[in-house]
Amino acid sequence: MLKIEHLSVNYGGIEAVRDISFEVPDGSIVTLIGANGAGKSTTLRSIAGLLKPREGSIQYNGEELIGKPTNEIVKRGITLVPEGRRVFPDMTVLENLKIGAYLRSDDLSEDIRWVYDLFPRLEERSWQAAGTLSGGEQQMLAVGRALMGKPKIIMMDEPSLGLAPLIVKGIFDIIKEINRQGVTVLLIEQNANMALHTADIAYVLETGRITMTGPGRELLRDDRIKKAYLGK
């Protein structure tokens, strides 16, 4: 289990995340929802070792992760799919997938098969330059590349951003399928509706603080959430 306690993160004088605590149990889908600027990406980037928190702890199975470099965190099975699906545009789909396994030297064919079974669209486009894929396909590739590292926890930074509703539904179906196959998911989203429908546990982040928590489906029925995040 991943356990975040009293985490605070600053950018110079700006407090982006203030004293937040939350847990990601093994096998679950946990979501942090919140408006633009709430501190969602800062939280994920801190867990991934890309930012150094000012205070608090990030423990995975009892081991402190703060201070460890990103590659050590990846080695422990925690991978980030960053915002904006940064694929390598001039490389093929298959080359992009192979890069996701950069810390491993064993045979990759089984994992490529796994990713292609999850995303048949990627197999069809195996030799296509990643930069020529649609937005939804690039998001599939970004997720597929993260899966090539065989993560225990996959963290996703707004996978639905800028995608059409039907494509978003497909991405969330895949998130559930990946989770069903045993990968723990930590998902951050502005798309509260989809995220709450998908998550076992949800936390609401507002200007750097956690203000509400509960099962996703319970928060969907909450009047404050409806008003602030679901436009109802």
Interface positions with Mg ion (CB under 5 A): 40-41
Residue 163 site contact among ligand ADP, Mg ion, none (CB < 5 to 8 Å, cut-off depends on kind): none
| Integer CA distances (angstroms), 68 to 57, 58, 175, 186, in order | 12, 11, 27, 20
Instruction: Rank residues 42 and 160 by Cβ distance to ligand ADP and give the closer one.
Output: 42
Per-residue H/E/C for the chain:
CEEEEEEEEEECCEEEEEEEEEEECCCCEEEEECCCCCCHHHHHHHHCCCCCCCEEEEEECCEECCCCCHHHHHHCCEEEECCCCCCCCCCEHHHHHHHCCCCCCCCCHHHHHHHHHHCHHHHHCCCCEHHHCCHHHHHHHHHHHHHCCCCCEEEEECCCCCCCHHHHHHHHHHHHHHHHCCCEEEEEECCHHHHHHHCCEEEEEECCEEEEEECHHHHHCCHHHHHHHCCC
Separation of alpha carbons 72 and 8, rounded Å: 22
Decide if residue 41 touches ligand ADP (CB under 6 A).
yes
Decide if residue 31 touches ligand ADP (CB under 6 A).
no
Closest CB 114 distance from Mg ion, rounded Å: 28
Closest CB 162 distance from ligand ADP, rounded Å: 14
Closest CB 160 distance from ligand ADP, rounded Å: 13
Residue of 22, 29, 30, 42 that binds ligand ADP (CB under 6 A): 42
Residue 216 site contact among Mg ion, ligand ADP, none (CB < 5 to 8 Å, cut-off depends on kind): none
Decide if residue 102 touches ligand ADP (CB under 6 A).
no
Q: Tokens 């994920």 sit at which residue?
A: 44
Residue of 2, 31, 40, 184 that binds ligand ADP (CB under 6 A): 40
Decide if residue 13 touches ligand ADP (CB under 6 A).
no
Decide if residue 14 touches ligand ADP (CB under 6 A).
yes
CB–CB of 18/208 below 8 Å?
yes
Residue 14 site contact among Mg ion, ligand ADP, none (CB < 5 to 8 Å, cut-off depends on kind): ligand ADP
Instruction: Rank residues 40 and 85 by Cβ distance to Mg ion and give the closer one.
Output: 40
Instruction: Rank residues 41 and 184 by Cβ distance to Mg ion and give the closer one.
Output: 41
Closest CB 94 distance from ligand ADP, rounded Å: 31
Segment near ligand ADP (CB under 6 A), from 9-17, 95-103, 107-115, 121-129?
9-17
Q: Which residues bind ligand ADP (CB under 6 A)?
A: 11, 14, 16, 34, 36-42
